[in-house]
Amino acid sequence: MKFNVDVSKFSEKLGLIQGIAERRATMPVLSHVLLQARSNVIELSVTDLETTMSATVDADVSKDGSLSLPAKKLNDIVNELPQGNIEFEEIGNHWVEMRTSSANFKIAGLPNEDFPVIPEASSEELFSIQSDKFDDMISKTIFAVSPDDLRRNLAGIYFEKNGKNNLKLAATDGHRLSIVENDLNSEIKLDRSVLVPKKGVAELRKMLKLGEEIKIGCGKNFFMAEGEGIRLIVRLIDAEFPDYNQVIPKSTKNTFQIGRERFLSALRRVSVLSSEKTRSVKISISTEGMTLLSVSPEVGEAKELLPLEYSGTEIELGFNARYIMDVLEVLSEENVELGLSDELSPAVIKPVGGEKYISVIMPMRV
């Protein structure tokens, strides 16, 4: 294997994909990036067996070949190189020499046969989606994914086709639920609903920043995405996502509107003195307004009153402030609608406007 490539182009693509490589992997090759040189193109691939990402870079290839190199070490080196070209050459026994006009590096690699087989994926199953619109949908749901890997049916974002051109995303950790849907300009080629792992979705967001449009789709066991010379293949979670429609209250006894930014700012201030473990804040609603209260015996107490047009019954309940702030931070509308019933029933948050989004948050004892 021998090729010459532009440092900045190589560094850009390597930087995008190398985060998938496992630095403390039980299999050493999973901390490596596979370099394949052929037809004046270099293909870089990394995998953790669940998520695989490949990127192509134009290069002057004088000898075809492939080899796996340590991803982090390689990335650290090329990040520090000046603008210009770098030459890679395999020098025997799976070692590679890297040469620039003023520097020389030798790195030990692994044979390409050790690298896991990259899943096959067909581009015919993909459909186009606007990158910024898709990224916005992900931002409104990814924070609600469960961090507990043992609860596999909650460890990803649920993709659901809701009509010919309507895509719906949902996520829950058992304490909160976020759902967003959007009408797209193209037909959605999903023949079933799928659950995509959080790590795969996080890597997908990196791709969404590269171009105005991206192609996504699903095969039998994999979610796929293509764009700007990068391909992502993520193994789907083989578990049943909960029937979230049963969680959404059909109605709430008390519904009112409040300024999103004003509500968010007050929550940030009051939650500073809440318990670091629970982040609990008591919310009291009356005709006088909304009162936010946090009390922590070890830290202190904070209280703030927000003016509010409200004529319903008085209600008092507690929430994890972080759960509400996560929702308010990803919305852009000026006002939100808050629906409450009693201290044991979930709260419902919706933007006031045309956006199709809903968040359901369970209360907590304070």
Question: Are residue 129 and residue 237 in the same domain, yes or no?
Answer: yes
Please give the radius of gyration of the chain, using alpha carbons only, rounded to the nearest integer.
Answer: 25
Q: Are residues 230 and 263 in the same domain?
A: no
- What pLDDT sits at residue 276? 83
Average pLDDT estimate for 333-345:
94
Q: What is the CATH number of the domain that holds 151?
A: 3.10.150.10
- Of 229, 244, 259, the residue that ends a domain is 244
Which of 60, 81, 114 marks a domain boundary? 114
Share of the chain above pLDDT 90, in %: 85
Specify whether 182 is located in the same domain as 109.
no
Question: What's the pLDDT tens digit per position in 282-311?
Answer: 999 999 999 999 998 888 999 999 999 998
Rounded distance between C-alpha atoms, residue 53 and residue 16, angstroms = 9
Q: Which residues contact 226 (CB under 8 A, 6 or more apart)?
A: 123, 126, 214, 215, 216, 232
pLDDT band at 185 (very low <50, low <70, confident <90, very high): confident
> Letter for the amino acid at 246?
Q
Give the per-residue pLDDT at 186: 79
Residue 45 CB partners (closer than 8 Å, separation 6+):
17, 33, 34, 36, 52, 53, 54, 55, 115, 118
Same domain, 129 and 221: yes
Residue 11 lies in a domain: yes
176 inside domain = yes
CA distance 176 to 324: 9
Residue that has been written with the tokens 């695989």 in this structure: 52
Total domain count, the chain? 3
Residue 366 lies in a domain: no
Distance CA 256, CA 310 (A): 7
**Can you tell me which residue has the tokens 């809440």?**
274
% the chain with pLDDT above 70: 100
Clarify whether residues 234 and 127 are in a common domain.
Answer: yes
Average pLDDT over residues 226-238: 95
User: In sequence order, what DSSP letters do the residues of 102-135 get, joined into one string?
Assistant: S-EEEEE-B-GGGSPPPPP--GGGEEEEEHHHHH
Q: How far apart are CA 81 and CA 306, in angstroms?
A: 54
Task: Specify the pLDDT at position 277.
Answer: 85
* 95 CB-contact burial (10 Å; exposed 0-12 / middle 13-18 / buried 19+): middle
In a domain, 196, yes or no: yes
214 and 268 inside one domain: no
Are 237 and 195 in contact, with CB atoms under 8 Å apart? yes
pLDDT over 90 at 54, yes or no: yes
Are residue 128 and residue 70 in the same domain, yes or no?
Answer: no
The answer to whether 304 touches 292, Cβ cutoff 8 Å, is: yes
Can you tell me the mean pLDDT for 57-84?
96
Tokens (6 digits) for 252:
């709430």
Give the pLDDT confidence score for residue 149 in this predicted structure. Answer: 84
Token pair, residue 231, equals 């391909």
Residue 332 lies in a domain: yes
218 and 191 in a common domain = yes
List the structure tokens of 366: 């304070």
Q: How far apart are CA 11 and CA 98, in angstroms?
A: 14
Confirm whether 268 is domain-assigned: yes
- Do the domain assignments include residue 32? yes
The answer to whether residue 275 sits within a structural domain is yes
Range of the domain at 329: 248-361
Which of 69, 96, 114 is the last residue before a domain boundary? 114
Tell me the mean pLDDT in the region 308-318: 92
* Integer Cα distance of 287 and 242 in angstroms: 37
Average pLDDT of the residues of the chain: 94
| One domain, residues 331 and 228 | no
The sign one gets for the Cα dihedral 54, 159, 320, 254 is positive
- At what angle are helices 321-330 and 260-271 packed, to 10 degrees? 150
Residues with Cβ within 8 Å of residue 104, at least 6 apart in sequence: 97, 98
- Tell me, yes or no, whether 29 and 16 share the same domain: yes
| HSE-CB for 168 with a 13 A CA cutoff | 15
Task: Let me know whether 254 and 295 are in one domain.
Answer: yes
Other Cβ atoms within 10 Å of 111 Cβ, number: 12
> Does residue 225 share a domain with residue 138?
yes
At residue 353, the pLDDT reads 85
239-292, pLDDT tens digit by residue?
Answer: 999 999 999 999 999 999 999 999 999 999 999 999 888 899 999 999 999 999
